[in-house]
Amino acid sequence: MAGATPATDNMIDSVVLAVLKGRLEQIADEMDATLFRTAFNPIIAEAHDASHGLYDAITGDTLVQGKSGLPIFVGVMAFAVRATIARAARGDLADGDVFIFNDPYDGGTHLSDFKLVRPYFYDGRVFCWLASVGHWHDVGGNVPGNYNPVASESFQEGMHIPPVKLVSAGRINPDIVDILSCNSRQPISLYGDLNGQINALDLGARRLGELIAEYGAGTVGAAFAELRAMAAQLMRANIADLPDGTYSAEDFLDNDGIVDEPLKIALDLTIEGDRLVMDFSRSAGPCSGPVNIARSTAVASCYVALKHIFRDVPANAGCLDPVEFIIPETSILAARAPKPVGGYTETILRVIDVVFQALAHAAPGRVNGCAYGTINALSLAGYRRDGRRWVMFSFFGGGLGGNPEGDGLNHGNAPISTATIPPLEILEAAYPVRFTRWALRADSGGPGRHRGGLGAIYELELLEERADVFLFGERGRFAPPGVAGGKAGALSRFYYPQDGSWKSPPMASKMVGISLVRGQRLRLETPGGGGYGDPRERSAEAIRRDVRFGYLTPEAALRDYGVDAGTP
């Protein structure tokens, strides 16, 4: 492979740069929208668990990212493109090629996230790369939906595909499609999602070609370079505004699903002028169960946390230029094959939480309380009466943290994403379940001057004859912390029927081996967010309003705030 993003000796006009920034972001946004409209899988089509972007021809660094996809993919997809560049170095790269893989160690995240990467050629050279990632419904493994809470190696989590050429010079390889389909419990869903991603890349290539035809490759290449430099400059300025020093925080995962012991995620964050050092050396080592993450995923988690705090910085690789990461190879945050990584979402949420907590010591006016901290991945699977297999996989919302300007959002989605919680109408239409309750959870938001957002209560009933149930969650033992004097939100709770009564998982937040029969229900109570500021500083009027709305019971108002709010 040869080539690099073309450069120009001319300074790019600021107005032209602004226009190109918008046009380039629109290309990524259109790729997002194309996949959302065409995917078969509700996790992509409804929840938007996918992302698209443009990446540097030589380094694979993020140049432009769509605004509708998951922020966590901004960081990890650069690693995915680098893995593809290494594969393309064999010398057989051609215009119209598309590579596919789901390697979670080089490309980040977990086996459910399939990456498609395509070179964009201009004048016989690679100008940049276009990439698509989407969460496929089922990719094999021991557990339908792939969130296996007791996996001890990645082979138990799903099929593992290295970077291979799916499309050669515009011609798809049907043998690879057959291999992928054969390893999924939902091959039709897989086929639809795969073609949706291919179509998104096709659209991105057409739109980029139109833009280059209008402005010229040199100008577009200069815009890439200038946007990265702008992001780096803004990030350095933001860091320089913070007081120098080392600020530490630690938080815990409930367990790894196999060994019932807490796992520490610790950060020592050092600010030195306009540079930031993020040292995770005190974190736990690799664990037996599937809450390990790859180094690329850990770096991407820090990117998401920093972008929450420094919101004016453009979303490209320049954000991380002033940041140094210390993540030992012996860490739970730097797993290598075949360590299981299927529950990566839970660990990256804890990484984000310790970044918030550490920076709250340095800049409490810029940081939120911790969000609810778990996606509570729930899988149900069985057979319909006509023999067809069904697999329901979904994630659920909770409260976001209180912030310097107000209360946290009730029933929001996790800060790793801009994904939406799948609507109950869609889930009920697609699967044999009925939601008998979908409501806010009173008293779940962490007390504070600005209260944490409320979690939710979900109850669902099985409508088919039987189903197997799998839960992969967190925050069952360590509640989402508040910051700046705010208190923690409520713990996560899960209940399932057994011997005529409600039972909870012995390991608090993870469970396999649950069987439901028609008419039985499950109940999930998700955490609220941590509070912001001293609860004693919250106004009595706001507390009484919360009681009137049912957000807070009178008992909690008196206990947590010292306010007698009477009856609602």
Residue ranges of the chain with per-residue pLDDT less than 50: 1-9, 568
- β-sheet with 171-172: strand ranges across: 62-65, 50-56, 125-135, 113-122, 98-101, 164-168, 171-172
CB 136 within 8 A of CB 193: yes
Strand partners of residue 272: 275
Strands (E), 441-554: 456-462, 466-472, 493-498, 501-503, 510-517, 521-525
User: Would you state the structure tokens that stand for residue 165, as one six-digit string?
Assistant: 């050429």
Counts of helices then strands in the chain (DSSP H, E): 11, 20
**Nearest Cα residue to 109 out of 82, 133, 86:** 133
Alpha-carbon distances of 553 from 53, 451, 486, 561, 567, rounded to whole Å: 46, 14, 19, 11, 8
d(CA 401, CA 441): 15
d(CA 146, CA 141): 6
169 C-beta neighbours (distance < 10 Å), count: 11
Please tell me the predicted confidence (pLDDT) of residue 419: 63
CB 190 within 8 A of CB 181: yes
CB 357 within 8 A of CB 481: yes
Please tell me the predicted confidence (pLDDT) of residue 370: 97
d(CA 438, CA 225): 47
- pTM of the full predicted structure? 0.94
Quick one: angle between helices 187-215 and 14-38, nearest 10?
A: 160
Q: Phi/psi at 459 (nearest 5 deg)?
A: -125, 135
Q: Phi/psi at 416 (nearest 5 deg)?
A: -80, -5
User: Would you state the structure tokens that stand for residue 283, as one six-digit string?
Assistant: 């974190």
CB 107 within 8 A of CB 300: no
CB 135 within 8 A of CB 43: yes
- What is the dihedral angle through the alpha carbons of 561, 564, 567, 568, rounded to the nearest 10 degrees? -40
Please tell me the predicted confidence (pLDDT) of residue 72: 82
d(CA 550, CA 50): 35
d(CA 357, CA 43): 30
**Nearest Cα residue to 472 out of 151, 155, 194:** 151
d(CA 527, CA 118): 40
User: Would you state the structure tokens that stand for residue 251, as one six-digit string?
Assistant: 């938080």
User: Would you state the structure tokens that stand for residue 303, as one six-digit string?
Assistant: 């990117």
Please tell me the predicted confidence (pLDDT) of residue 568: 46
Q: What is the pLDDT of residues 363-399, one digit of tens each?
A: 999 999 999 999 999 999 999 999 999 999 999 999 9
Please tell me the predicted confidence (pLDDT) of residue 181: 97
Beta-carbon contacts of 552 under 8 Å, excluding residues fewer than 6 positions away, are 442, 443, 445, 543, 546, 565
Please tell me the predicted confidence (pLDDT) of residue 418: 59
Strand partners of residue 483: 532
DSSP class per residue in 81-134 = HHHHHHHHTTS---TT-EEEE--TTTS-S-TTEEEEEEEEEETTEEEEEEEEEE
276 C-beta neighbours (distance < 10 Å), count: 22
**Nearest Cα residue to 369 out of 489, 539, 537, 526:** 489
555 C-beta neighbours (distance < 10 Å), count: 11
Please tell me the predicted confidence (pLDDT) of residue 377: 94
